[in-house]
Amino acid sequence: MDFLYFDGKFFGIAWNFWKVLGWVGNGVFFSRFIIQWIATERKGRVVVPLAFWYCSLLGSLCLLIYAIFYLQDSVVIGAYIFTWIPYTRNLCFAIKEQKLGVNLPS
């Protein structure tokens, strides 16, 4: 078990709130890949489910907060500062389509 927990670090990481937030953001952002893959396999064509956009938005916001308050790294901040705009817009379109009962091709 020394390889998991050594010198006060789990997986070699000194954990704190910000590290957890950053890893949660990574996990949520990565999960959109799995969600989209499963949805596409089920339909037999390329689809982008609503959950994909929620995971994109939540994951990127977690990573942006992590970058601003913990990393304070302009490169990482720049990578996530505007991603919420298309994710939010795509969510608005998708929700509107669902309310109208429109099923446009993805």
Report which residue type is found at 12. G
pLDDT tens, 65-100? 999 999 999 999 999 999 999 999 999 998 898 888
pLDDT at 53: 95
Region at 44 (left for phi over 0; alpha for psi -120 to 50; beta for the rest) = left
Q: How many helices (H) and strands (E) does the chain have?
A: 4, 2
Answer whether residue 85 is part of any domain. yes
Count of domains for the chain: 1
Whether residue 105 has pLDDT greater than 80 = no
Give Cα 89 distance to the centre of its chain: 16
Answer whether residue 5 is part of any domain. no
Answer whether residue 68 is part of any domain. yes
Q: Hey, what are 40's tokens?
A: 């596409």
For residue 67, give its domain range: 29-43+55-100
Q: What is the pTM of this model?
A: 0.81
